[in-house]
Amino acid sequence: MKEHLEQIRVQHEGLGSEDLLRWSFDTFQGDIAMASAFGVEGMVMIDMAARIRRDFNLFTIDTGFFFPETYELMDKVEKRYGVRIERVKTQLTPEDQERAFGPALWSHSPDKCCQIRKVDPLKQKLSGLRAWITAIRRDQTANRATARKIEWDEKFQILKVNPLADWTTKQVWNYVHEHQVPYNRLHDRGYPSIGCSHCTRAVQPGEDARAGRWSGFQKTECGLHTPEPQPELVRLSPEPLPTR
């Protein structure tokens, strides 16, 4: 597949999101899965996939630190769409992590925490697949600005499909309202981007949509969609991270 990637890119870059999803499911059958953290883009992808087929593979990297509202939404997804969400987790429990690295690892070494609780479990999950589907968009972060609808993921050595790569925030919310898609209640309380409860806060008026993630650090990605691990970060300000 990798050797024919450029031809596949050219042939499918112009496909609409639903057509690209349909092609992905037909091509890879049971060897492709959709990853979701249940943000609003992820909910669009889930709704779209469910309209194409009911037996698609859906998983989340469950860090154990999600907001209660996120777990609540996951229950709604399983009931509404009749799918089972596979919860992929690290073998290191929060208690084990604290014993190994001290309390609140995320507050001083967020990259290390993300590596343990997100990146490593994802790598293990993807090792058994031929392709994965994400809900990333080009205008979310600088790292995602060059995302193609179909690309080779060098980090995980797998084909990556990004059906919403060229969507805008307005398009995402228009779809949600048109199809009455459920979404995380935190979006209505100033959380445009939602991750772990320890490292996510509400965004203030005038701030970037990702400003609430890893506040106080020069960090906008957990590492799942970056080419290589980034150097250890230092805090840019004394602003404390959430402790919930």
The tens digit of pLDDT for each residue in 137-179 reads 999 888 889 999 999 999 999 999 999 999 999 999 999 999 9
Q: To which residue do tokens 């919930």 refer?
A: 244
Whether 222 maps to a domain, the answer reads no
* E strand map for the chain: 32-35, 58-61, 85-88, 131-133, 150-153, 158-161
Q: Using one digit for the tens of pLDDT, what is the confidence trace for 65-104? A: 999 999 999 999 999 999 999 999 999 999 999 999 999 9
Whether 201 maps to a domain, the answer reads no
Q: What are phi and psi of 151, to 5 degrees?
A: -150, 160
Whether 113 maps to a domain, the answer reads yes
Q: What are phi and psi of 81, to 5 degrees?
A: -100, -5
Confidence bin at 225 (pLDDT 50/70/90): confident
Whether 226 maps to a domain, the answer reads no
Give the domain range for residue 67: 2-187
Look at residue 32 and give its three-state secondary structure: strand
Q: To which residue do tokens 């050219």 refer?
A: 10
What is the tally of structural domains in the chain? 1
Whether 85 maps to a domain, the answer reads yes
Whether 136 maps to a domain, the answer reads yes
Whether 225 maps to a domain, the answer reads no
pLDDT at 230: 42
Decide if 196 is catalytic: no
Nearest to 59 by CA among 37, 82, 31: 37
Beta bridge partners of 33: 132
Whether 241 maps to a domain, the answer reads no
Query: What is the CATH classification number for the domain harbouring 117?
Result: 3.40.50.620
Rg of the Cα atoms in the chain:
18
